[in-house]
Structure 1
Amino acid sequence: MTNTSSGVLLDIHTSALAGMGSMPRHFERWAALAADESSPDADLGEELFRSLLISGDEALTALWGRHLTSWDFAENPPWGADTPARTDERRAVVYERLRFGSELRKVLDEAVPVAKVPGATVITREFTPWYTPERAAARSFYWTAYEQKLRDKGWPETAIAGLDQASRAVVERLADPEQPAARQAKGLVVGYVQSGKTANFTGVAAKAIDAGYRLVIVLGGTLNLLRAQTQRRLDMELIGQENILRGADVTDVDSLVGVDYVGDDEGWPEFVRHGGRPSTLGAFDIERLTTRDNDYKSLAQGIRALEFEKRVPTRPLHDSANLHHTAARILVVKKNKAVLTKLVKDLKQIHGILGELPTLIIDDESDQASVNTSDPKKWERGSTERTAINGLISKLLGLLPRAQYIGYTATPFANVFIDPGDDMDIFPSDFLISLPRPAGYMGVQDFHDLNSSVPVEERTYANSQEKAHVRGIYDSTGDRLQEAMDAFVLSGALKLYRADHGVHSANFRHHTMLAHESVRQDDHADLALRINSMWHQAGYSSAAGHERLASLWEADFTPVSAAYASDLPSPSSYEELRPYVNLARQRIGSGGQPVIVVNGDTDRYFAQLDLDFDRTPNVWKILVGGTKLSRGFTVEGLTVTYYRRTTQQGDTLMQMGRWFGFRSGYRDLVRLYIGREEPFGRDKSVDLYEAYEAVCRDEETFREQLAQYSVMVDGEPQVTPVQIPPLVAQHLPWLKPSARNKMFNAELVEIRSPGRPIEPAAYPLNGTVTKRNTERWRSLLQALSTTPVSFSNPPDNSSTLTRTFTALTGTVTHSDLISVLSGLEWERPRYFDPHLTYLRQLDGTLAQVDDWLLISPRLASDNRIEASVLGSAPLSLVRRSIQDGKSSFGRIASVEHRTAAQRLINDAAGAPAQIGSKTGIALVYPVVEGSSPDSVRAAVRNGAADPSKIVMAFTLVPPRSATSADRRLVRFRAKDSRHHNEATVPARTPV
C-alpha cells in the first residue's frame, strides 16, 4: 500500500465526485481517472479510505457527507430504482452504484447516517418538467454561493439538502424562463411560525435567478424595519459584497461613502463574497433597486435600472442568447400602497420589454394585506373593486405576463380561501407546498401534550411538554407576573453560566421576555409602568430576592434542565449561579430601563426603539406590546413569554406565538406564562392554552391531509390546489381558521379513511331529535354482551406502565351498522355524508368489510355511572361538554380507547390477530352533555337512561384493507353543472 497523504486523497475524491455529476457511479473508475492526472500512484483502496474515516478525517467526511446526503434526498431520480428518498433502501442503491464493499458501507453509515426525516409535501397540478438536475447544475452560481454560506453558518448537510429539495420543488413548478409562450404560475409555501421560511425563499430566489429570472420583487412586511431585515438577509446571503460595492475599491475610503453596511454593520465581513464581480467570473451581476435604508423610490435612476439591454437585439429578452448575459434586478419593498404605486407607475413607462421579462414575485407573510377582503356582495354585483395591496399586486401580475407569484406563510387558511376563478388574484392555483418541521424548531407541539397517553396525574417534567414549559395563569394563582420576571432573570443567568462553560455564546447574544396582554396602547403603557416598578422593587441584589430566585431555580429550572438538557453545563448550587444572576440583572436593567414598549405604527417609531436585532450588539430587555409583536417581527432570544391576549381567529392566534422558533442552547429554559379560563366576551370564557392546542390540531390535521393527498395516483395528482379548502378543519367553532370574506362552495362528496379514525362530533342536542337518534341504535346496543372484556396498551415512549380498561363488546354486520348510520340526524345537514358515502361502499363495491366490533368502554369504577339504554346491558355513561357558541363536542373517544382500537386494526393486518382483517372497530359512547357529574345522574332514572338526554356518539376505525386499488382518498363534485370541470364554484352564500 502506498503512503498516500489524506490531502492528495481528498483532492482525488473531490474530482471523482464532481465528475460523476448528479448521480452515483462506479467510484473506483472515476477515482482512477482523477488520479491519473494528479497522483497516478495514489492508494485508492477501500482500506485506506475506511481508515481515514475511522480516524475522523473531517474534510473527507464532510465531502462524502455532502454527496451521500444529496443522493439520499433526491426525489425520484432515474438511477434510484424507485426507492423512497431518505431511507436505508435508497442508501443501499447508492452503495451498489458506487460498488462499495460491506465494511466501507458500515463505516460510511456511521460517519454519515441516513437522515430519515420527512420531505416537503407538494400538492400540485400537472406541469411541464424543465428544471432538470443537469440544467440546475449547469447554471448554479448564486445557489452554490448560498449553499456554502449556509455551511459557513453551521447548517448540517441534512438541513441544506432538505432546503435544496424544497426550493427545487418550488422552482420546477414555475414557468421555464426561456420558453417562448408567456405563462404565469402561482403557488403557496406553508411553513411554521418563525421556522426559517426566509431561508427557503432565499434559496428559491438563488435558483430562479440562476435559471434566468431577471426581475425579483420581494414583498417584505408592512414596516420598513421588517423590509430592511429581509433586505439585509438577502444582501448578506445571496447578493454578496461585490454586487453591493458595484466596483467600489474596499481600500478607498472615499469610494465607500454611502455604501450599505460598510463601516456601520459589524456583520459586513460575514456577507457572501464571490471572489470578484460575478460578471467577470462568467456569471452575471445582481443590481439592487432597494437598499438597507431605502425602499423603492420613483427616481429616474430607478426607471433606467429597470431597462434591460439585449445582447442580441433581434431576439426577445427571454431567449437564452440574451437572458444569461444580462444582470438581474432585485427589489425588497414594503406592502405599502404608495411604494407599490410608484413601482407600478415606473413599470408602465418601460415599453415592449415587460412581456419578455421573466419575473419572480415573492410575497412574505402572504396572508397579511395581500389577500382581497372586499365585500363579496360587491363581486356578485359585478364590481371588481379590490383592497389596495391586493389590487396593486394584481396590477403587477397584469403588467408582467411572465411573472410567477409565490406566497409564503405559516397560516395558510386565508390564502386557500381566495377565489380560484379570479385570474388576476393570488390564489395558489399551481402548487401548494408544506415545508417539513425543521430540526431544532420549537413549535406549538412542544408546549402541548398532544395525544399523550400518560394520565394527567402521572405527568412529570420528563414526560410532559406542558409541565416543562407552560405555567398557567389562573384566578387561584394570581397573575404570576413577578414569577415570570424572576424566570427571565434566572434564565439569563443560566445562559451566561453556559457561555462561560463552553456553550457557543452566539446563542445568547440577545435575551428577551415578551409581555402581551392587550391590543390597546394605553394598556401597554400601564403594563410597562407596572413591570418597571416591579423590577425596581424586586430586590434582585438583596438577600430576599436571591432567596426567591434560589427557590424558583431549585423547584423549576433544575428539574426541567435535568430532564431536557442533561448534556449542558449546570451549576451545582444556586451560590455557583449567583454571580451570573448579578450580571443578568445588570444587562437587563442597563440604562435604568428594563422595559421597551413596542406598539407604534410608523418606521420612525421603530427606528427610535433601537430594536434592530441584526445591528444591535445585545438586546436584554422585557418587551411589552400587542399586534406589532404578533407578525413578522422576530423577537430574538425570546425565552420567557407572558401572554394573556385573546382573539377569535386561528391564524391570528398562531402568529401571536412569538415563543415559537429555534432555541439552540436554551430550549430547556423557555417558559410560557399563559392565561387559563380568561374572561372573553359576554358570558364566555376562553382558555388560551386550550385554544392554542385546538388551532394546532387544525393546522396539523391540514398538513396531515396534504401529506396523504400528495401521493400521485397513476401519475396524476389526487387533488389540486383548488380542491384544498374543504380539507380545512376547525376544532373550536368560535376560533375560525381565518377572517374569510370569500368562501369556496365546493361539495366534498367522499372522504376515505382506511385504517384511520372517523369521529363525527356535531350531534344535535334537541331532545326530540336526540331521542330519535338514540332509538335507531336499539338493535346494535342489544348486541353488546353483559361480560366486560379487558383491553390494554403496552408501555410506550411516554410511559413505562401498561394501561388497561374494560368494555362491553359485541359484533354486528356491516349492513346493520350502515343501516343505523344512514338514519342518523346531524346538527348540520349532510355533515356526515362524505364519510357515509365511503362507508356504504365497504359492502364489496369498494372493498369488503364483513363486520364491526362494537366496544363500549367503561370508566374507572370511582367515576362510573351506569345505566341501561333502551334495554341494553348497563353502559358506562360519558360526560362531554359543549361551550357556549359551539356546535359540536371537542372530542369523543379518549386517547386510551383510540390507541387500543388502532392497535387492533393495525395488528389485524398480520397474524395472529384478535380480529379479522375485514373487521372494523366502532367505539360507542352514550354521552350526556354537561359540565358536571350531576348532569349524568339527572339523565338516569331507576337504572335506565332517558333516551332524549343520551347522545349515542361513536368513533369508527375501518380496517386498513377498506380501500380500493386506485388509492384515492377524497372525491369532489361541483354543485353547479355549468362548472362540471371544476371542483369548486364561486360562493353565493357563506359556508
Structure 2
Amino acid sequence: MSDVLLEIHTSALAAMETKPLSFIKVATALADDEIPRVDISEEALCIRLADDRGNGGALTAVWAKALTAWDFAADPSWAPGIGARTRERRAAIYDRLRFGDAVRKALDSAVPVANMPGATVIAREHTPWYTPERAAARTFYWQAYEGKLRSKGWSEAAIASLHEASRAVVERLTNPEQEARRQAKGLVVGYVQSGKTANFTGVTAKALDVGYRLIIVLGGTLNLLRAQTQRRLDMELIGQENILRGADPADPDTLVGVDYVGDDEDWDEFVCHSGRPSTLQAFDIERLTTRDKDYMSLAQGIRALEFEKHSPTLPLYDPVNLHRAAARVMVVKKNKAVLTKLVKDLKQIHGILGELPTLIIDDESDQASVNTSDPKKWEKDSTERTAINDLISQLLKLLPRAQYVGYTATPFANVFVDPGDAEDIFPSDFLISLPRPEGYMGVQDFHDFDSPPDPAQRTVANSQEEAHVRSIYSEGDDRLQEAMDAFLLSGALKLYRADHKVPDKPFRHHTMLVHESVKTDDHAALALRINTMWHQAGYTSTDGHHRLAHLWTADFAKVSGARAADLPNPDSYDELRPYVSRARQLIAKGGNPVIVVNGNSDKYFQQLDLDFDRTPNIWKILVGGTKLSRGFTVEGLTTTYYRRTARQADTLMQMGRWFGFRPGYRDLVRLYIGREEPLTKTATADLYEAFGAVCRDEELFRQQLTQYAELVDGFPQLTPAQVPPLVAQHLPWVKPSARNKMFNAELVEIRSPGKPIEPAAYPTDESALCRNTKRWGPLLGALSPELVSFTSPPKVAGAQGTTFSALTARVSHSELIAVLSQLEWEREGIFQPHLRYLAQLDGTLAKVDDWLVLAPQLTKADRVEAIVLNSVPLSLVRRQRQPGKSSFGRIAGLEHRAAAQWLIDSAVDVASVTASNNGVGPRTGVALLYPLVEAKLGADLSAVAGVSQGKADPAKLAMAFTLIPPKSATDSSRRLVRFQTKDSTHIDAPIVATPATQ
C-alpha cells in the first residue's frame, strides 16, 4: 500500500529544493485529483512525526534532508544575514513554510538544529566561479557518494557538513573551464583518525562533476594503505559499472582482470549507478590503478590518457569537450619507482596535458612529500630535496592545469611550518581546517582541559581522564595484565551489546595496541611476554573470572553507568561471563592473540593478513613501532598500552591512534599510558602530559585560525603565507629551512577585544623572574586586603556557578601598560604583538579607562599563602611547564576566567556602572594575576617558593596573568591581526632571503 502522505511531502519538499515556501500551498498544488484526499494540515504532520519514530522514520528522513539543507545553506537570498546552523536560521525557515508553534516544536524534536562549526578557511583572494548554480548543474558523482553515505547511516547533518567542507576546497581550485592556466595549492587539516578520506572523496566527486578529468591520489607509502584508499574510492564513488566496464558479473569469462567481483564479500555494497554513467547523461570513469595493481605503466596505454574531443578544433577544457570526456582516476603509492614511471609516461604525452584539468590529492601530505627538514641542516645552510618531493614537483610542471591539495592531521607538519619549498607544494592559496566531526573521539575526550583545577572533585562522570586514562605505573606493577583484562572485558561487552541489537551492525573488529619501542628486537620480546601472559592469565579459571569481575565492578560498570546508560549493559558479571568466553575464543583464534607489526615491505603486511577492509573479523593485540603510528588505521581499537616517548610534536600526534570514531563503545575505550610519578619522575617522563601539551598548541592554533578567518570588508585578515609566524608563537623551533632565509610576514599586532590574552612563555632564569616580580610591585601593593566574592556563570561547562574569592585592585590603563612594557620573556618578542595592541588603548585605537585586577584565592584546604614584595598575603598557584618547552599550559583557572569573561560580556549592556558587576563598565578591562610556582604535584609549595617568615622569594615566582580587554577596545575596521611584509617585491612568498644575502 502506498504512503500517500509521504508522497505528497516528498514531492512538496522536492519542489522547494532551492528555498522554503508556504508548505500548505505547495502541497495543495501538487495533490491533484488522482491522489486520494489526505489530511496535509499541521496537526496531521505533528501526529505523523510522533508515530514516525516507531515506523521506520520515512517522513522524518524526508524532512531531515530538507531542513538540514536549508540550515546549512551558505548566505541564501531568502535568509539574508542569518547565520547557518543557528536557531535564527531555523526560525526563518519555519516562517517561510508558514508553520505554527506546534509543528515547529515537533520538527525541532525530530530534526534538531545541527550545532556544529563549519570549516575554517584561510585563503588568498580568488575569483568566485563555483557558484551554487554551477555546483547544482552537474551532481552525478556527488549524489552517488551522498547516497552511499546515507546508506551507511550517516546523519543528514554529517552529510551536509561534509558537503560544506568539500565545497570549501573545490571553490578554491581553478575553474577547469577557464582558458588561462593556473595552479592552486592548498592544505586541508583534519584530526587524527577523523575521516579525512571522506572529505577528499567528497572533493573528488565534486571536482569530477565540475570538470576535472584526471585525478591522482597519492595514497600512503605501503601498497596495503594505497589499496585501502583505492577500495574506498571504488566502493563509495566510482561504482560497480565503472569497475565492470561492460563485463557481466554472471559470466566468469568476461570478468578476467576485474577486481572485487567474487572475492570481496562487500561487492554488493559498492555504489550502483543503475547503468553506465555515459548512458545516463554523465561520464564514465576509467581506473588507471586497481585494488591489487598500483600504477605500473601505461602499457594499456599512453592511449589510456588520450581524450576524445567532441569538437577536435576546441581545447579539452572547453565545456563542449570537457563534459563529454571520460575521467581518469589513479591511486598511486608514494614510492620513487612508481612515481618515476608515471612521470616518464606523462613526458611521452604531448599537447593534451596542457589542456587537462587535473587534481592531485596528497594523503598524509607531511609524510614523504616534503623536503627533508632537519634542524642540524639548518645550521649548515642546506636543505635536501627528497625523491618524492622532486617527483611531485615534476608532476606539477608536466600538468600545468593541475591543482595540488595536501591532507594532514598535523598542522605543524613540515609541509606547513617549513615553507622553504614555496615553489612546489607549500599551500600558498588556501589552508582549510576541518571541523571536529560529530561522534569523533579526540584529545578532548582524554584530557580535562576544561575542568576545574581541583582533582579531588573529579569522577568518571565529569572527568575524561578518570573515565578513560589509566597510568601504567601502580606500586611497581606496569599494569600490562590489567590492560589485557580490560581488552578482554571490553570485547565481551561489545558482544553483549551486539546480541542486544546495539549498534545496528555487529562490531566487526576489536583490537588492542601495545606501543613501547621502535626496535624490532623489543617487539619480539614484548610479543612473547604478552602471549605468555595471555596463556597464563587463567581466563577459564575461578581466579581469572574473579579478577575480571573485580575490574568490571571497579571500572567498567562505573564508567558505562555514567557515560553509556542508554546502551545495553549487564547488571552483573555473571550476566557478562558467557560473552567473556566468546571474546576469549575470538582473540585467541589461531592459537596466538598477538600480531607484531614492524615490517617495511608490502609482502610483510600481506603475510599478516591485517587488511581491515577485506578480513571479516580481526580480534587481536597488535605490538609495534612506527608502522603503527602513521597511516595504518587500526580498526576497532579499544585498549591502548603506550609507553614509547617521542620528541617531535607531529610524531606524538600521529601516534595518537586511540583517536577516532567509536560508535557504541566509546565508554569502553581505555588508554594505559606513561604518567609522571610525583617526586620520582621528571616532567618529560609524563607522556600523557606531553600529548596534552601538543594538543593544547594545536587546539589554540585552530582557534586562532577561526578567529582570524573572518573577512573584513570582503578581504581576508590572514593569508597562508602569513600563517608560519603565527605558529612560531606556539612553537619556538619553527623557522625557515635555512639560516639565510626568514619569514616574509612579520606579525606586528594581535587585537583581542573582549577575548583573553594569556601569555605562557615566562623566563626560566631566576634573575629575570626576580626582575619581573619587582616590576609588578606597584600593582601588588594596590591590592585590597578585603576579599571579594565572584561567581562563574552557570552555563560554563566545568565551572557551573562556581564561587571563589579574590583580592582586588583598581589600576589605570597607563599603570598596567607601564608594568607590561618592562616584562622579560623566555622568547624575545613573543608578547610584542599583544603589547602593541594594548598600548594603543590609551585613545589611539580605542579608550580603556582602567582595569579591575583580581588575584584569585584558592580554597582554604588547598591554599598556600605568602607575601610577595609588599603585598597582602596571596595564594600561590602551582603550574608546570609543558614537556620540552619553556611555556606553561593553561594559566587561569576555568572558573576564574569564566567569571572575568562574564564581567566583560555583561559590561556592554549596563548603562551605568553598579556594584552588581563589580564596577566593570564598557571601558574597563579585567586582569587575573597569579603568583605562579613551578612545582610538581606532591611538592611542598612553600619550600619550592622559598617562603621565609611568610614572604616568598621573588626569584622563585612567575607573576603570570590573563588579560581580557573590554569589547569596545577596537576600531571600526574589526581587523584582529596585522602583519607587515619584509620584502614587498615578493608579497606572496612565505619566506625570503635575509637582507644580508639579497
Deviation at 1:714, TM superposition (A): 0.9
Deviation at 1:827, TM superposition (A): 2.5
> Would the alpha carbon gap of residues 876 and 28 (structure 1) be closer, same or farther in structure 2, given more than 3 Å must change?
closer
Structure 2 counterpart SS, 1:188: strand
Structure 2 counterpart SS, 1:354: helix
> Would the alpha carbon gap of residues 938 and 59 (structure 1) be closer, same or farther in structure 2, given more than 3 Å must change?
closer
> Would the alpha carbon gap of residues 66 and 40 (structure 1) be closer, same or farther in structure 2, given more than 3 Å must change?
same
Is the contact made by 1:746 and 1:985 (CA closer than 8 Å) also made in structure 2? no
Render the CA deviation track for 1:930-983: whole Å, top value 9, x for unaligned.
554366476344444444444333221212222222111111112346556767
Q: Distance in 1 between the 2:2 and 2:106 partners? A: 17
* 2:975 is aligned with 1:957: no
Deviation at 1:863, TM superposition (A): 4.9
5 Å-filtered alignment, 1:62-81, equals 62-81=61-80
Partner of 1:319: 318
Partner of 1:344: 343
Render the CA deviation track for 1:710-746: whole Å, top value 9, x for unaligned.
111111111111112222277787xx68997797353
Code of the residue aligned with 1:641 in structure 2: it is T
Partner of 1:924: 929
* 2:109 is aligned with 1:113: no
Code of the residue aligned with 1:924 in structure 2: it is L
Q: Distance in 1 between the 2:162 and 2:405 partners? A: 16
Is the contact made by 2:945 and 2:957 (CA closer than 8 Å) also made in structure 1? no
Q: Distance in 2 between the 1:395 and 1:643 partners? A: 40
Partner of 1:651: 650
> Would the alpha carbon gap of residues 261 and 988 (structure 1) be closer, same or farther in structure 2, given more than 3 Å must change?
farther
Q: Distance in 1 between the 2:474 and 2:43 partners? A: 69
Partner of 2:51: 55
Partner of 1:639: 638
Instruction: Using the TM superposition, name which of 442-451 and 525-534 deviates more.
Output: 442-451
Partner of 2:167: 168
Partner of 1:126: 125
Structure 2 counterpart SS, 1:597: strand
Render the CA deviation track for 1:904-944: whole Å, top value 9, x for unaligned.
22332334522222111222233444554366476344444
Partner of 1:870: 869
Render the CA deviation track for 1:355-397: whole Å, top value 9, x for unaligned.
1000011111111111122679999999996211111111111
Q: Distance in 1 between the 2:129 and 2:289 partners? A: 31
Partner of 1:761: 760
Instruction: Using the TM superposition, name which of 524-533 and 458-467 deviates more.
Output: 458-467
Deviation at 1:204, TM superposition (A): 0.8
Instruction: Using the TM superposition, name which of 77-86 and 407-416 deviates more.
Output: 407-416
Is the contact made by 1:540 and 1:546 (CA closer than 8 Å) also made in structure 2? yes
* 2:554 is aligned with 1:555: yes
Is the contact made by 1:808 and 1:856 (CA closer than 8 Å) also made in structure 2? yes
Render the CA deviation track for 1:453-510: whole Å, top value 9, x for unaligned.
2621111111111111111112635210000011111111111111112223634111
TM-score (norm 1): 0.94
> Would the alpha carbon gap of residues 770 and 62 (structure 1) be closer, same or farther in structure 2, given more than 3 Å must change?
closer
Partner of 1:699: 698
Code of the residue aligned with 1:849 in structure 2: it is V
Partner of 2:540: 541
Partner of 2:913: none
Is the contact made by 2:759 and 2:831 (CA closer than 8 Å) also made in structure 1? yes
* 2:19 is aligned with 1:23: yes
> Would the alpha carbon gap of residues 153 and 720 (structure 1) be closer, same or farther in structure 2, given more than 3 Å must change?
same
5 Å-filtered alignment, 1:907-918, equals 907-911=906-910, 913-914=917-918, 915-918=920-923
Code of the residue aligned with 2:917 in structure 1: it is A
Q: Distance in 1 between the 2:330 and 2:229 partners? A: 11
Partner of 1:969: 976
* Number of equivalenced pairs: 982
Q: Distance in 1 between the 2:466 and 2:263 partners? A: 44
Structure 1 counterpart SS, 2:164: helix
> Would the alpha carbon gap of residues 541 and 283 (structure 1) be closer, same or farther in structure 2, given more than 3 Å must change?
same
Partner of 1:617: 616
Code of the residue aligned with 2:425 in structure 1: it is I
Code of the residue aligned with 1:141 in structure 2: it is F
Instruction: Using the TM superposition, name which of 484-493 and 968-977 deviates more.
Output: 968-977
Q: What is the percent sequence identity of the aligned residues?
A: 71
Partner of 2:82: 83
Structure 1 counterpart SS, 2:917: coil
Structure 1 counterpart SS, 2:300: helix
Q: Distance in 2 between the 1:379 and 1:396 partners? A: 27
> Would the alpha carbon gap of residues 251 and 888 (structure 1) be closer, same or farther in structure 2, given more than 3 Å must change?
closer
Render the CA deviation track for 1:48-97: whole Å, top value 9, x for unaligned.
44443343273332222111110110111222221100112112222333
Structure 1 counterpart SS, 2:471: strand
Structure 1 counterpart SS, 2:505: helix
Is the contact made by 2:495 and 2:583 (CA closer than 8 Å) also made in structure 1? yes
Partner of 1:593: 592
> Would the alpha carbon gap of residues 638 and 507 (structure 1) be closer, same or farther in structure 2, given more than 3 Å must change?
farther
Q: Distance in 2 between the 1:480 and 1:807 partners? A: 43
> Would the alpha carbon gap of residues 280 and 482 (structure 1) be closer, same or farther in structure 2, given more than 3 Å must change?
same
Is the contact made by 1:448 and 1:693 (CA closer than 8 Å) also made in structure 2? yes
> Would the alpha carbon gap of residues 797 and 524 (structure 1) be closer, same or farther in structure 2, given more than 3 Å must change?
same
5 Å-filtered alignment, 1:675-694, equals 675-677=674-676, 685-694=684-693
Code of the residue aligned with 2:223 in structure 1: it is N
Structure 2 counterpart SS, 1:82: coil
Deviation at 1:882, TM superposition (A): 4.7
> Would the alpha carbon gap of residues 380 and 12 (structure 1) be closer, same or farther in structure 2, given more than 3 Å must change?
farther
Is the contact made by 1:595 and 1:621 (CA closer than 8 Å) also made in structure 2? yes
Deviation at 1:20, TM superposition (A): 3.6
Q: Distance in 1 between the 2:88 and 2:795 partners? A: 27
Is the contact made by 1:789 and 1:807 (CA closer than 8 Å) also made in structure 2? yes
Q: Distance in 2 between the 1:900 and 1:47 partners? A: 45
Deviation at 1:678, TM superposition (A): 8.5
Is the contact made by 2:365 and 2:408 (CA closer than 8 Å) also made in structure 1? yes
> Would the alpha carbon gap of residues 584 and 927 (structure 1) be closer, same or farther in structure 2, given more than 3 Å must change?
closer
Q: Give the alignment's Cα RMSD to 1 decimal.
A: 2.8
Is the contact made by 2:793 and 2:902 (CA closer than 8 Å) also made in structure 1? no
Partner of 2:368: 369
> Would the alpha carbon gap of residues 967 and 502 (structure 1) be closer, same or farther in structure 2, given more than 3 Å must change?
same
Code of the residue aligned with 2:604 in structure 1: it is Y
> Would the alpha carbon gap of residues 629 and 575 (structure 1) be closer, same or farther in structure 2, given more than 3 Å must change?
same
Structure 1 counterpart SS, 2:671: strand
Is the contact made by 1:462 and 1:468 (CA closer than 8 Å) also made in structure 2? yes
Partner of 2:4: 8
Structure 1 counterpart SS, 2:560: helix
* 2:847 is aligned with 1:840: no
5 Å-filtered alignment, 1:487-566, equals 487-504=486-503, 506-566=505-565
Deviation at 1:881, TM superposition (A): 4.7
Is the contact made by 1:810 and 1:853 (CA closer than 8 Å) also made in structure 2? yes
Instruction: Using the TM superposition, name which of 408-417 and 963-972 deviates more.
Output: 408-417
> Would the alpha carbon gap of residues 854 and 48 (structure 1) be closer, same or farther in structure 2, given more than 3 Å must change?
closer
Code of the residue aligned with 1:548 in structure 2: it is R
Instruction: Using the TM superposition, name which of 137-146 and 127-136 deviates more.
Output: 127-136
> Would the alpha carbon gap of residues 884 and 456 (structure 1) be closer, same or farther in structure 2, given more than 3 Å must change?
closer
Is the contact made by 1:650 and 1:738 (CA closer than 8 Å) also made in structure 2? no
Instruction: Using the TM superposition, name which of 557-566 and 50-59 deviates more.
Output: 50-59
Code of the residue aligned with 1:70 in structure 2: it is A
Q: Distance in 2 between the 1:743 and 1:240 partners? A: 48
Structure 1 counterpart SS, 2:644: coil
Deviation at 1:170, TM superposition (A): 1.0
Partner of 1:672: 671
Deviation at 1:854, TM superposition (A): 1.6
Q: Distance in 2 between the 1:10 and 1:865 partners? A: 68
Code of the residue aligned with 1:887 in structure 2: it is S
Instruction: Using the TM superposition, name which of 415-424 and 768-777 deviates more.
Output: 415-424
> Would the alpha carbon gap of residues 20 and 787 (structure 1) be closer, same or farther in structure 2, given more than 3 Å must change?
closer
Structure 2 counterpart SS, 1:973: strand
Partner of 1:579: 578
Q: Distance in 2 between the 1:580 and 1:505 partners? A: 18
Code of the residue aligned with 1:157 in structure 2: it is E
* 2:771 is aligned with 1:775: no
